[in-house]
Amino acid sequence: MSDYKAEPVKGRKGDVSAHDGASSWFYSDEVKEHFFNPKNYIMNDVDESQFNAIGKVGSPACGDELRVWLKIDKDERIVDFKWKTFGCGSAIASTSMASVMVTENGGMTLDEARSIKPQDIMTRLKGLPARKFHCSVLCDKAIRDAINDYFRRTEQIDRMIVEAKRMIDPVAKVTDHDIEEAVLDGALDLDAVQKKTKVGVGNPTILPAVEELIRFYREKYFG
């Protein structure tokens, strides 16, 4: 029991949900590896003096909260990436994978890191269930938040990029900003937001992500 923290949690080989090994697990083997043996996470307390950029995204109210600590060298390469997360299996795995992607081969430049898309992380994880996709969206946002923090600390305010709008429903052309506006306008549930924006009306697969956003903005503005 004494040093269990250092020990990876072992899953059964191949299949966790069935003992006969005949059926598949909920996630790909890559997700499973990063979930049971997450890389680069910070155990317990963080010594923030060791890092020069900090990013945060999400809140426990919406089920995922992610914090990242980066060390950026003088050539603007990310040489260290540590994280903590409160989240489900795919949130843990996608953050772990992102930390590997950002720091491998000498580390990404800030421009490279800023252009990471959720799809890139998902591709490396060999896929995530559709309804889990929003979890890895968080991670790229946290990286961009940390990079802005670095520019703030190094007084390069002109290089900061305010988070662009994110297209939530390409069919109805609704962005996260539209949903934020709808919530601020008093639409506090899916029905009300749909009345204002038509989000997901012809595209129901995105509804879980929309509900997540509604909850996030509701929590943010109305507590």
Partner 1 sequence: MNTENRNVYLDHAAATPTDQAVVDVMAEFNVDLKGNAGSFHSEGKRAKDQLDKARAFVAEFLGARPDEILFTGSGTESDNLAILGYARVSAKHGKHIVTTSIEHHAVLEAMQHLERKEGFELTVVPVEKNGIVDAKKVLDAIREDTTIVSVMLVNNEIGTIQPVGEIGNAIEKMKKNGKAQHVALHTDAMQAAAYLEIDVKKLHVNLLSINGSKVYGPKGVGALFVKRGTKLQPLTFGGAQEKGIRPGTEDVASIIGFATALQIVKERRDADAVHLLPLREKLIEGILNSIPKTRLNGDRVQRVPNNVNVSIMDLEGEALLLYLDAQGIYASTGSACTSASLDPSHVIIALGMPFEVAHGSMRFTLGRETTEDDIDYVIEQLPPLVEKLRAISPVRVDPKYYE
Give residues in contact with partner 1 (CB under 8 A). 1, 4-5, 9-12, 16-17, 19, 26, 35-36, 38, 41-44, 60-67, 84-89, 91-92, 131-132, 191, 208, 211-212, 215, 219
Which residues have CB under 8 Å from 190's CB, separation 6+?
207, 210, 211, 214
Gap between the Cα atoms of 121 and 98, Å rounded: 6
**Is residue 88 among the annotated active site residues?**
no
The nearer residue to partner 1, 69 or 77, going by C-beta atoms, is 69
The nearer residue to partner 1, 62 or 143, going by C-beta atoms, is 62
Catalytic one among 31, 62, 91, 101?
62
C-alpha atoms less than 13 angstroms from C-alpha of 105 in its C-beta half-sphere: 6
CB 182 within 8 A of CB 205: no
Catalytic one among 128, 135, 138, 193?
135
For residue 16, the minimal CB distance to partner 1 (Å) is 5
The nearer residue to partner 1, 17 or 49, going by C-beta atoms, is 17
Which residues have CB under 8 Å from 193's CB, separation 6+?
179, 182, 183, 187, 199, 210, 214
User: Which residues are the active-site residues?
Assistant: 62, 135
